[in-house]
Amino acid sequence: MKGVVFLGKRGCEVREFPVGEPGHGEVLIRLRASGICGSDLHVYRAEQATDQIRGHEPCGVVEALGPGIVALQVGDRVSVHHHWGCGACPACARGDPVACSQDRVFGVAVPGSFAEHVVAPERNCIPLPGSVSFIDGAFMACVGGTAFGALRRLGVVAHESLAVYGLGPVGLSCVLVAKAMGLRVIGLDVIAERDVIAERVNIARECGADEAIGARGEEAVAAAREFSGTNGVDYVIETSGSATARRCVIPSLRREGKAAIVGVGSSEEVINPGDIHGRAVIHGRAVTLIGSVVFPLGWSWDLARFLASSGLTFEPAVTHRFGLDDAPEALRTADEGRCGKVVFLMD
């Protein structure tokens, strides 16, 4: 089968690999879609090469069953949660392999989804309702599930206001899920040393954002507060990982508003309980900050039902589709950042 490996310094290569054999409790999946995630790009840009097949947003059709399979059948369409876990610890028992100390991740510890086939534990496979596409299933595996998880942790209420900082694939997914949940949404591309990425602002509007702009930090805060119609939005989700955007989170919130920090990037410390923003956390507006890391496996089933019942699709966030043979171009496109989600489609 074909699989994509990273060569270091933004290089990649399509190679031939043997098709894996499913072990006990595992299935072989013929992949139909897999997205390129921002965390894939961090590795793509790194110096070192790797022989591991990359990718961690698998979706496809069950092709073969290992021994001990309980429910899945050949031909089932499935999305695959990308954290394996050990399956036996307290974190795995509560459906949260992300918190497992022995966790393994597709494309890192085990062969990933930039390939024609992948082997996966049955417990990680979520059957797709008939109305849910393979692309939607790939979003479920990581980026769309991350957006759903952040909104669920915030406990959002329909018709309230949300500011999404960062309009990459995670931010666009947040816009889509939030609109399906009935929120009013402003998307904000916060700039520091670079220009506004107009493409992403436009895509956010196409994804249903009530308003979407590119602005510098103070301008973005002002826009969020004006959008709220009061003294701040009810919720913020920060997806960019930039220090500039993180500084905007607390000033954008109303009193007792809530924010989820999702983006990975800058290591700069931007919240200090002794500064004006910190005092707003403790004494001024009593806001709540939540770190939202991916999402529990069990919530994937809830997301599948939500997609089916709401009619939500993540496809408006997709701007580019490639075959595996076009992996170099696909990764260059995603790396340039002037696009929405880039996905591989496999026949």
Read off the DSSP letter of residue 236.
E
pTM, two decimals, is 0.95
- In which residue ranges of the chain is CATH 3.90.180.10 found? 2-142+294-345
Six token digits for residue 136 = 């939607």
Alpha-carbon distances, residue 169 vs 36, 110, 163, 194 (angstroms): 9, 24, 15, 19
For 78-155, where are the alpha helices, taking DSSP H only?
Answer: 90-93, 134-141, 143-154
CATH topology of domain 2-142+294-345: Quinone Oxidoreductase; Chain A, domain 1 (3.90.180)
CATH number for region 146-291: 3.40.50.720
- In which residue ranges of the chain is CATH 3.40.50.720 found? 146-291
Residue whose tokens read 């534990």:
121
Beta bridge partner(s), residue 83: 105
Residue whose tokens read 């800058």:
266
DSSP helix/strand/coil, 144: helix
> How many angstroms separate the CA atoms of 340 and 239, rounded?
14
**Helix pair angle (297-310, 143-154), 10° resolution:** 90
| Antiparallel, parallel or unpaired: β 2-8 and 11-16 | antiparallel
Tens of pLDDT along the chain (347 residues) come to: 999 999 999 999 999 999 999 999 999 999 999 999 999 999 999 999 989 999 999 999 999 999 999 999 999 999 999 999 998 999 999 989 999 999 999 999 999 999 999 999 999 999 999 999 999 999 999 999 999 999 999 999 999 999 999 999 999 999 999 999 999 999 999 876 556 678 999 999 999 999 999 988 789 999 999 999 998 999 999 999 888 899 899 999 999 999 999 988 777 777 665 555 555 565 567 889 999 999 999 999 999 999 999 999 999 999 999 999 999 999 999 999 899 999 999 98
Q: Which amino acid is at 236?
A: V
